[in-house]
Amino acid sequence: MTSGFKLAPSILSADFSALGTALQLCDDGGAHYIHVDVMDNQFVPNLTIGPPVVRSLRSLTKKHVDVHMMVIEPEKLVEPFAKAGADGITFHIEATDDPKAVIDLIRSTGKDVGISLKPKTPVSDIVPFMDQVDLVLVMSVEPGFGGQGYIDGSTERVAEIKQLLIEKCLQDRVQIEVDGGIKLHNAKVVIDAGADILVAGSEVFKADDPVGVMRSFYDLARS
């Protein structure tokens, strides 16, 4: 049941002066995705990574580069990130009045389409778009910073989304990614609730042994 599990280490918690090293650790740890947190100081208070950095990462890894755009006017950045080499591009439903247009734009680039929702956004808001995306990214912290605590009610939201996907026969087509406060101690319950992909930033990159932590996530998913 959990054999398709994928770990997406977030480089937000890595040493930005040594991103190549962070990618090497992800290789050694067997991570499937590289999660890139894009923040614009408007949708969220923080300011992080733009397309040039993604282009550099692209040149160093064959892994799936998973761009999580926490930005207003997401339509303006879809093409730059696609051209920089992202494999998947996720936008926030709260950041646009026209989610369908953003979905169509990402789709037109040939990249995987992700839609994300903040912890207080009703699940019902994303339902009309579920059959048009490849990924639903469930935020389990308020977006903006790594190292925050997991919001407990998130597990029920994951289960609710999984159930909706099953009812719509979309569970094999649409993956659920959970992002924020994911640690080794809470990962299993989130996977069991229906997560296909877990993002982990501080748990991986603030650890003494990031490779060991990544391997432990996969061990948990198999258990």
Distance set, CA 154 to CA 83, 133, 191, 209, 221 (Å): 33, 20, 12, 27, 18
Q: Which of Zn ion, ligand DX5, none does residue 200 bind (CB under 5 to 8 Å by kind)?
A: ligand DX5
Sequence-distant (6+) residues with CB within 8 A of 172 are none
Q: Which of ligand DX5, Zn ion, none does residue 181 bind (CB under 5 to 8 Å by kind)?
A: ligand DX5
Least distance in angstroms from the C-beta of 120 to Zn ion: 17
Q: Which of Zn ion, ligand DX5, none does residue 141 bind (CB under 5 to 8 Å by kind)?
A: ligand DX5
3-class DSSP state of 178: strand
Q: Which residue is nearest to Zn ion (CB)?
A: 68
Candidates 7, 19, 26, 37; binder of ligand DX5 (CB under 6 A) is 37
Candidates 181, 187, 190, 191; binder of ligand DX5 (CB under 6 A) is 181
DSSP state of 127: G
Residue 66 interacting with ligand DX5 (CB under 6 A): no
Transcribe 133-149 into DSSP letters.
-SEEEEESS-TT-SSPP
| Number of amino acids touching ligand DX5 (CB under 6 A) | 21
Q: Is 37 a catalytic site residue?
A: yes
| Exposure on the CB side of residue 123, measured as CA atoms within 13 A | 17
Residue 206's φ and ψ, nearest 5 degrees, are -95, 0
Residue 29 interacting with ligand DX5 (CB under 6 A): no
Among the listed residues 70, 58, 31, the one whose alpha carbon sits nearest the alpha carbon of residue 182: 31
Q: Which residue is nearest to ligand DX5 (CB)?
A: 201
**Catalytic-role residue among 37, 66, 112, 196:** 37
Distance set, CA 147 to CA 66, 108, 206 (Å): 19, 34, 9
Residue 197 interacting with ligand DX5 (CB under 6 A): no
Query: Footprint of ligand DX5 on this chain (CB under 6 A)?
Result: 10, 12-13, 35, 37, 68, 141, 143-144, 146-148, 179-182, 199-203
